[in-house]
Amino acid sequence: MKSKYTGALIRGVISLALIFFVLWRFQGKLAEVWQMLAAANLWWVLAAILLFWTAMLINAFKWWTLLRAQAIRVPFLAMANFTFVGFFFNNILPANIGGDVMRGYGLAKYTEKNAGAAASVVLDRLIGLSAYMSVAAVSALAVVFLTDRVDLWPLAAVAVLALLALLTLGAFLISRRISKTVSKLLHHGFLNKIAPIWDSLAAAFELYRFQYKTLALAFLIGLTGIATTSMVNYVLSLALGGGIPLVDIFLFTPLIALVLIIPISIGGLGLSQAAYPFFYGLVGVPGALALALSLFVQAVQLFCSLPGGVLWLLWKKEAEREE
């Protein structure tokens, strides 16, 4: 328990340090940032909110599609419920992975299939990240070749390597030979207590081994979700007056999402405000505009996560009634 609070404290300190760094870096432009936010077009903001909720429903549909491959039938509304609750916790827990735990918890409680729930959540995350990196790699290569921005080659390389790593990890999880090898090592080693857990997870992952159509469909749905999320960023940039090309939005939205997974901050606070000016600065976007966009995106995310908080309170009330 003590170590858990220590980790949270460290991440909180890092978030504060990043916030102070951003304030120091943009100390002469904070008034400009505030003016952009105050003069924002609220109709574009409303459109961004609706787009964000649409993206969340698309991601719920992707997860629902993967779950059906295990012959686990769960109503889509229930999957949307778990997705919204998970997104709420993504915004209050370190990094963007805390919500996956809550999604898995909700699904496991609903279906009473812990291994299947965990496998679907992990694979959903991997496919989502793979789709993100695919968009980032294609966008980076397009920018490099169409605009002769050879200085962006490192970004393209990072996106391609990240994509290959994610695909390799996915293949590792659904490989029967690898799962059996790991199982043997666990059963004959000092980790034999967790061997049954691995065997259950491996059996759940193995169900996806020949589900090529399902995996391809989930990937395509993931691409749709990414396009919608990227449009959220683009629409919010329009609310601030525009000035950021759409191709740059498609390039940096996935890369920033990958950075925000790093568990060094609370809900991405501070880290997001440092990442936006860094990445968009590579293509000449003014730092004040990039900072304003990061604040707007985070505010929209927090607002859109509120329904998940309400649903979580309903979870608690239902659990109390059952007890």
Give residues with Cβ within 8 angstroms of 272, minimum separation 6.
Answer: 256, 260, 294, 297, 298
Spatial distance between the Cα atoms of 36 and 54, rounded to a whole number of angstroms: 26
**Is residue 198's pLDDT more than 50?**
yes
Widest Cα–Cα separation across the chain: 65
**Coil, strand or helix: which one is 240?**
coil
Write down the pLDDT at residue 190: 67
Contact 295, 129 (CB under 8 A): no
Angle at 67 between CA 64 and CA 68, to 5 degrees: 90
Which burial class, exposed, middle or buried, applies to 138 when counting CB atoms under 10 A from its CB (0-12, 13-18, 19+)? Answer: middle
**pLDDT level of residue 103 (50, 70, 90 thresholds):** confident
Question: Which position has the higher pLDDT, 302 or 142?
Answer: 302
**Is residue 97's pLDDT more than 70?**
no
What rounded mean pLDDT belongs to the chain?
A: 83
- C-alpha 191: how far from chain center: 31
Q: What is the pLDDT of residues 163-197, one digit of tens each?
A: 788 778 777 777 777 777 877 777 776 667 777 77
Highest mean pLDDT, choosing among 202-206, 238-242, 245-249 = 238-242
Query: What pTM did the predictor assign?
Result: 0.85
Give the least confident one: 102-111, 144-153, 296-305: 144-153
* Other beta carbons less than 10 A from residue 46's beta carbon: 12
Write down the pLDDT at residue 176: 76
Instruction: Bin 243: left if φ > 0, else alpha if -120 < ψ < 50, else beta.
Output: left
**Is residue 24's pLDDT more than 60?**
yes
* Other beta carbons less than 10 A from residue 31's beta carbon: 11
Write down the pLDDT at residue 12: 79
Give percent of the chain with pLDDT exceeding 90: 29
Strands (E), 134-292: none
Question: Which position has the higher pLDDT, 124 or 7?
Answer: 124
Write down the pLDDT at residue 96: 53
* Other beta carbons less than 10 A from residue 125's beta carbon: 18
**Is residue 92's pLDDT more than 90?**
no
Q: What is the pLDDT of residues 41-77, one digit of tens each?
A: 999 999 999 999 999 999 999 999 988 877 778 899 9
Angle at 86 between CA 85 and CA 88, to 5 degrees: 65
Write down the pLDDT at residue 323: 64
**Is residue 3's pLDDT more than 80?**
no
Write down the pLDDT at residue 138: 80
Q: What is the pLDDT of residues 199-210, one digit of tens each?
A: 777 777 777 777
Mean pLDDT value of segment 286-315: 92
